[in-house]
Amino acid sequence: MERTSTDTKTESRRTDASLDVRLIPEYDGSSSQPISEWLEKVELVCRIRGIDDVTCVIPLRLAGGAYAVYSQLPLDQQRDAGKVKDALRAAFEVDRFVAYERFISRKLRTNEQPDAFLADLRRLAGLFGGLTDEGLACAFVAGLPGNVRQPLRAGSRMENLSLQDIVGRARAVLNDDFVMDRSDACLGAAEPRRRQQQVRQAQKCFSCGGMGHFARECPTPRQSQDADEPLRANVRRKGRYGRRRNASKGTDVTNQGNALGGEA
């Protein structure tokens, strides 16, 4: 039977789907990525690629302890997507008490976007029963650093803003702080150069009277010293010759007469 173009496209689509599924990171239970977030990514890839049965994909991306949990399930539960998800969540998801502790201690991390911070707060809140947008807004503002929280409170009445408005204003404040930090860094890099130029201008040579260098760096004394070196050497030789003559004269005068210093 001759294959139609539709069959070829369908086969190509299935092949592409399997290749896309391999882009999903493996989960072994020790990853820092929460199991619920990993399952959401698996469902997203399957939905985009037209795969209806996620149970055909999940075991292919499990490893280590996570695969051990899956392999212990009965065969009928392995074919049930809900049972597989529940088993993985029960094994690797934190309980509501740990989730609440992480929720109340969660702060905006360095270089973390406000939207990602809110998404993690919402995920943790869902593990212990969930919160309204008003409660999430309070937790979101409390988790911001002081240099962002204070301008946010001073610039508007927080209780009249929606959760998304608060996130947008926090994003704007963080962007302004980032621009100011980069500007300060550039000014700080230029300041040492200006100081160095000022110091160089304040330097004065006591040999030639010039500015911008010290006497030890001045070439003028070095050149004059080289020119006067023969004259100074001649003076030193004459001085040594004169001292020897004076010493010999003193010796002759002392040795005149007898040993007692009397007249000869």
Q: Decide if 115 is inside a domain.
A: yes
16 and 80 in a single domain? The answer is yes
3-class SS letters over the chain:
CCCCHHHHHHHHHHHHHHHHHCCCCCECCCCCCCHHHHHHHHHHHHHHCCCCCHHHCHHHHECHHHHHHHHCCCHHHHCCHHHHHHHHHHHHCCCHHHHHHHHHHCCCCCCCCHHHHHHHHHHHHHHCCCCCHHHHHHHHHHCCCHHHHHHHHHHCCHHHCCHHHHHHHHHHHHHHHHHHHHHHHHHHHHHHHHHHHHHHHHCECCCCCCECCCHHHCHHHHHHHHHCHHHHHHHHHHHHHHHHHHHHHHHHHHHCCCCCCCCC
87 and 103 in a single domain? The answer is no
Q: Which of 42, 66, 93 is the last residue of a domain?
A: 93
Range of 209's domain?
A: 203-234
* Tens digit of each residue's pLDDT (9 = 90 or more) over 131-178: 999 999 999 999 999 888 888 877 667 778 899 999 999 999 988 765
> Given this model, what pLDDT does residue 247 score?
55
86 and 27 in a single domain? The answer is yes
> Given this model, what pLDDT does residue 253 score?
47
Q: Decide if 240 is inside a domain.
A: no
> Given this model, what pLDDT does residue 208 score?
78
Q: Decide if 241 is inside a domain.
A: no
Is the pLDDT at 180 greater than 60, yes or no?
no
Look at the pTM and tell me if it is higher than 0.75. Answer: no
**Which range, of 26-30, 83-87, 241-245, averages the lowest pLDDT?**
241-245
117 and 31 in a single domain? The answer is no
Q: Which of 139, 174, 194 is the last residue of a domain?
A: 194
* Tens digit of each residue's pLDDT (9 = 90 or more) over 167-176: 999 999 988 7
CA angle 116, 107, 113 (to 5 degrees): 25
Q: What is the mean pLDDT of residues 23-51?
A: 87
Q: What is the mean pLDDT of residues 125-130?
A: 91
**Which range, of 7-16, 58-67, 179-188, 197-206, averages the lowest pLDDT?**
7-16
> Given this model, what pLDDT does residue 235 score?
52
